A and B are shown apart, each in its own frame.
Chain A
Amino acid sequence: MIDFEPSEDQRMMQDSVAQFAKSTLAPRIRESEKLRAVPEDVRRLAHEMGLGFIDVPESAGGQGLGLLTRVMLEEELGSADAGAAFGLSGPGTFGAAVVELGTVEQAAELLADFGSTDGHARFGAVAWSEAKPNKERAGFVTTAVLEGDGYKITGKKAFIINAPHASRFLVFAQVDASKGWGGLGAFVVEKDNAGLKVGSRHDTLGLEAAAFGEITLDNAIVPASARLGGGLSEADFTKAMLRYFSKQALVVAARAVGLARFAYEIALEYCETRKTFGKPIGHFQAVAFNLADRHMDVESSRWLVWKAAFAWDTKRPENEAIRASAQAAAFALEAAMRTGDDCVALHGGSGFIRDLIAEKLMRDAKQIALCCATPEQLDQIAAAIDLRAPLDPALVLPTPDAQAIFT
């Protein structure tokens, strides 16, 4: 039966994360921005709350609370500081990828130290994107060559969320050059690998509390056991990556819903107080209708995200869940951009000045839409599923051929 009421447990967690977000993250949003990191004491607090392990399965050492609970909590983080939501420590997207591609044992082993007492200092990262598409052939420039009983990885990866801090990476590389986007492999590479060099940090438009950066792999040698999902067929590997990208998009979308809510709320408050021509600007129709539209955006984004997360948690057919996630995320990311944009516009000149938070929210809103498969790519995924087109990895994976993204 259609029901929008969270369970008692979900409410309680939502309240406590909202409390943390409001009292700890929000007041320090500018501090985190300047620091270009989430302050250590804040990370420690989040770590103690177990925020990095909400939906990680219990078998892999997580709380196993499901994606729906996760997105509800991510919205709260996003409503205070979306940058911090990305900049918090923990396994992050690395955890999600490992769960999709690895076995339960691999996941448990690879995620264990993120949960330890010093876990607040540990970050995981996924090295997917490359700065430039490969002009020679389809697929990544970065290659992994089987050598002895291991692989030798060479190449350069870019746009990696938390790369500068990460202790462990999942690196994607071309294993079979003849298979194009169907010939990928995923490899766990430790930060202390002799062939790995953490490169420069990108200076980004928004979400400054999260560190985006590059890594270089120069004959980085990893054991064969470091390869995840190596036994999967091309189709199954693509499917696993689609699961990863769509769930990841949903998490990012939830943060975007929070961000949009933040932007909408401060815009609303401003429109009720700022007066021109003798009345609050919100009492002019052009402004009021704009607010009404953004309110609809925030609400409908949230319900779409919930519904998609629910589809995963209740084990709906996989294509249905992937499609729902792609569409929810595409909608929410665009809605967040509209809201951030309008938030600045409705603040007039003051919206452009850094004394107010509006300008940061607009920058964050654009940045966040690049932190997972973008609306353009998500639309291709959803359409491919709806048209029952073959899920060709070249078409449905967010490859640098189509558009570079942060992962």
Chain B
Amino acid sequence: MIDFVLSKKQQELKEGIHNVGKFVIRPMSLEMDRNHEVPEPFLRNFMKLAGGRGGQDIENFGEDGSGEEGKKERDPSKISEANRTSAVGAEELAWADAAMVLCMPGAGLGGPPVKSTGTPEQRKRFLGMFKGMDTGPLKWGAYGLTEPGAGSDVSGIRSSCRKDGKHWVLNGRKCYITNGGRAIWTVIFATIDPALGRAGHRAFVVEKGTPGFEVGKIEEKMGLRANETAELVLEDCRVPEENLLGGEAAYTTKEGGFMTAMKTFDNTRPLVGAMAVGIGRAAYEYARDFVKENYLIGRPIPRYAAIAAKLSQVSRKLDAARMLVWRATYMADMGIPNAKEASMSKAAAGQAATQACIDAIEICGAHGSIATEHALLEKWFRDVKVYDIFEGTGNIQRIVIAKRIMPGLKAF
């Protein structure tokens, strides 16, 4: 039955995050941006709220997403709402702070490839490391695909791997890796032979402290400054063969490794879309409240009518993007292939949210661009743009969509 009302659990999650966001996160947002970090005590408290489970996997707040970490078994006759719940939570957390949402301890973007491609032992071992963060140390995972020479063009990665006895030897450089410096492990994508293209890709879980695995430069960014973006360097880094994600068997099909990288996106793109919607909504609400306080929108006076129109346009584009996010996560929960819908949600959300921030500043006029204690808008404007870039740029999403709507299209 068609339904657009959040479940009770989702509603509670949304309200819970909203309140923490409004009264705790927002007030420290600007300081986190200046200090380039989220205070540890806050994260620890948040982990306590989340029952010590991975915070960046927002789905864990709602429903059990992985099923193998000693949590209560999910009733298989009941349809999982996990992806929809994650989207609801992600939007709200990003509404609170656009960088915070990426700083949450947990496997992060490294989680999905381990979940989708890892062997049962690997899932248990690597995801199990994130247990007990309510009392024990905070931990992060990371996802290392991008290289200086290959971002959108995933098949062009040059980081190499070769088998040597019971180890793989990795060489190369990864860049722009979210939480890459602090991660206890990173899923690193490398190739056995660039000439093989996608078929040559292998994915490894490389643990922090592995000899030859170093953190390079920590980037200075336009926005998301509270979140760490790191360069990772692999120099004759010897990774045990047990850390080859999925084992050798996972790479017998032609595009095994590439598909590992891509499958991740079907679940994460809608979430990134949800986050973008959250940031855009924050900017929209800011502009709306500014207008409410400062202007009298009464009879149709031209300038006010123009502002009202702009406000409405911003908000309906965000609503449209949210519907695509919900649709993509609904399909994920139902087990319906959703690569196209995931890309549509990400493309629409990244664009709508960026435009929302641009227009919100415009609506507020000069006030909108001033970085004072009270002006979060200026920060959101800086934060949001990358949501239209990482996890596949707007153009890359359109390539995915185009290939799905035109089955005859193999490449441009």
| A joins B in a complex | yes
User: Could you say which of A292, A300, A327, A402 contacts B405, with CB atoms under 8 Å apart?
Assistant: A292
A293–B397 CA distance with the chains assembled, in angstroms: 10
Whether B412 is near chain A, meaning CB under 8 Å from some CB there, is yes
Scan B268-304; emit 1 where CB is below 8 A from any A CB, else 0.
0000000000000000000010011000011110000
User: Could you say which of B3, B298, B309 contacts A2, with CB atoms under 8 Å apart?
Assistant: B3
A310–B311 CA distance with the chains assembled, in angstroms: 24
Q: Is the pair A284, B412 in contact by a Cβ cutoff of 8 Å?
A: yes
Q: Is the pair A2, B315 in contact by a Cβ cutoff of 8 Å?
A: no
Q: Is the pair B315, A306 in contact by a Cβ cutoff of 8 Å?
A: no
Minimum Cβ distance to chain B for residue A352 (Å): 24
Whether A336 is near chain B, meaning CB under 8 Å from some CB there, is no
Interface of B, secondary structure class, is helix
Q: Is the pair A299, B344 in contact by a Cβ cutoff of 8 Å?
A: yes
Segment among A15-23, A216-224, A385-393 that sits at the interface with chain B:
A385-393
Q: Is the pair B300, A386 in contact by a Cβ cutoff of 8 Å?
A: no
Residue of B nearest to A383 (CB): B308
User: Could you say which of A282, A310, A392, A394 contacts B4, with CB atoms under 8 Å apart?
Assistant: A310
Whether B1 is near chain A, meaning CB under 8 Å from some CB there, is yes
Q: Is the pair A395, B330 in contact by a Cβ cutoff of 8 Å?
A: no
Given contacts A300-B324, A380-B305, contact A3 B2 (CB under 8 A): yes
Residues of B within 8 A of A (CB): 1-7, 10, 81, 84, 288, 291-292, 297-300, 305, 308-309, 311-313, 315-317, 319-321, 323-324, 326-327, 329-330, 341, 344, 347-348, 395, 397-399, 401-402, 405-406, 408-409, 412
Scan A263-297; emit 1 where CB is below 8 A from any B CB, else 0.
00000100110000000101111001101110110
Interface of A, secondary structure class, is helix
A244–B309 CA distance with the chains assembled, in angstroms: 21
Given contacts A376-B309, A395-B298, contact A280 B320 (CB under 8 A): no
Scan A1-34; emit 1 where CB is below 8 A from any B CB, else 0.
1111111001000000000000000000000000
Q: Is the pair B402, A289 in contact by a Cβ cutoff of 8 Å?
A: yes
Between A and B, 28 residue pairs with Cβ closer than 8 Å are: A1-B5, A2-B3, A2-B81, A2-B326, A5-B1, A7-B2, A282-B406, A288-B406, A291-B406, A292-B344, A292-B398, A292-B405, A293-B398, A295-B344, A299-B324, A300-B320, A327-B315, A330-B312, A331-B317, A379-B313, A380-B305, A383-B312, A387-B288, A389-B298, A392-B298, A394-B299, A395-B298, A402-B300
The interface centre, meaning the residue of A299, A300, A328, A395 with most chain B CB atoms within 10 A of its CB, is A300
Q: Is the pair B401, A292 in contact by a Cβ cutoff of 8 Å?
A: yes
User: Could you say which of B288, B329, B348, B399 contacts A296, with CB atoms under 8 Å apart?
Assistant: B348
A379–B307 CA distance with the chains assembled, in angstroms: 10
Given contacts A2-B4, A3-B1, A268-B405, contact A289 B398 (CB under 8 A): yes
Question: What residues of B have a CB within 8 angstroms of the CB of A280 in the complex?
Answer: 406, 408-409
Whether A344 is near chain B, meaning CB under 8 Å from some CB there, is no
Minimum Cβ distance to chain B for residue A75 (Å): 13
Q: Is the pair B6, A2 in contact by a Cβ cutoff of 8 Å?
A: yes
A299–B348 CA distance with the chains assembled, in angstroms: 11
Q: Which of A159-215 contact B (CB under 8 A)?
A: none
Whether A365 is near chain B, meaning CB under 8 Å from some CB there, is no
Known contacts A285-B402, A395-B297; 16 further A-B pairs (Cβ under 8 A)? A3-B1, A6-B1, A283-B412, A288-B399, A288-B402, A288-B406, A292-B347, A299-B344, A303-B326, A307-B4, A379-B313, A380-B308, A386-B312, A387-B291, A387-B297, A387-B308
A301–B402 CA distance with the chains assembled, in angstroms: 19
Whether A368 is near chain B, meaning CB under 8 Å from some CB there, is no
Q: Is the pair B3, A268 in contact by a Cβ cutoff of 8 Å?
A: no
User: Could you say which of A271, A382, A389 contacts B316, with CB atoms under 8 Å apart?
Assistant: A382
Minimum Cβ distance to chain B for residue A397 (Å): 11
Residue of B nearest to A395 (CB): B300
Whether A68 is near chain B, meaning CB under 8 Å from some CB there, is yes
The interface centre, meaning the residue of B298, B316, B324, B402 with most chain A CB atoms within 10 A of its CB, is B316
Q: Is the pair B316, A387 in contact by a Cβ cutoff of 8 Å?
A: no
Minimum Cβ distance to chain A for residue B171 (Å): 34
A283–B399 CA distance with the chains assembled, in angstroms: 10
Question: What residues of A have a CB within 8 angstroms of the CB of B317 in the complex?
Answer: 331
Given contacts A282-B409, A395-B300, contact A296 B1 (CB under 8 A): no
Given contacts A292-B401, A331-B316, contact A303 B327 (CB under 8 A): yes
Question: What residues of A have a CB within 8 angstroms of the CB of B399 in the complex?
Answer: 285, 288
Whether A96 is near chain B, meaning CB under 8 Å from some CB there, is no
Q: Nearest 7 pairs between A and B by C-beta?
A: A383-B308, A303-B323, A379-B312, A288-B402, A300-B320, A327-B316, A292-B401
Q: What's the tally of chain A residues with a CB closer than 8 Å to chain B?
A: 57
The interface centre, meaning the residue of A292, A293, A295, A327 with most chain B CB atoms within 10 A of its CB, is A292
Q: Is the pair B313, A3 in contact by a Cβ cutoff of 8 Å?
A: no
Q: Which of A305-329 contact B (CB under 8 A)?
A: 306-307, 310-311, 314, 324, 326-328
Question: What residues of B have a CB within 8 angstroms of the CB of A5 in the complex?
Answer: 1-2
Q: Is the pair A310, B316 in contact by a Cβ cutoff of 8 Å?
A: no
Residue of B nearest to A280 (CB): B408
Q: Is the pair B288, A379 in contact by a Cβ cutoff of 8 Å?
A: no
Q: Is the pair A291, B300 in contact by a Cβ cutoff of 8 Å?
A: no
Given contacts A292-B347, A299-B324, A386-B311, contact A7 B6 (CB under 8 A): no
Whether A384 is near chain B, meaning CB under 8 Å from some CB there, is yes
Whether A343 is near chain B, meaning CB under 8 Å from some CB there, is no
Minimum Cβ distance to chain A for residue B53 (Å): 22
Minimum Cβ distance to chain A for residue B176 (Å): 24
Question: What residues of B have a CB within 8 angstroms of the CB of A390 in the complex?
Answer: 298
Whether A346 is near chain B, meaning CB under 8 Å from some CB there, is no
Given contacts A7-B2, A280-B408, A295-B401, contact A382 B320 (CB under 8 A): no
Whether A304 is near chain B, meaning CB under 8 Å from some CB there, is yes
Q: Is the pair B344, A306 in contact by a Cβ cutoff of 8 Å?
A: no
A324–B7 CA distance with the chains assembled, in angstroms: 20
A27–B300 CA distance with the chains assembled, in angstroms: 45
Minimum Cβ distance to chain A for residue B314 (Å): 10
A292–B324 CA distance with the chains assembled, in angstroms: 13
Minimum Cβ distance to chain B for residue A387 (Å): 5
Residue of B nearest to A311 (CB): B4
Q: Is the pair B348, A300 in contact by a Cβ cutoff of 8 Å?
A: yes
Question: What residues of B have a CB within 8 angstroms of the CB of A331 in the complex?
Answer: 316-317, 319-320
Question: What residues of B have a CB within 8 angstroms of the CB of A3 in the complex?
Answer: 1-3, 330
A302–B313 CA distance with the chains assembled, in angstroms: 17
Question: What residues of B have a CB within 8 angstroms of the CB of A394 in the complex?
Answer: 299-300
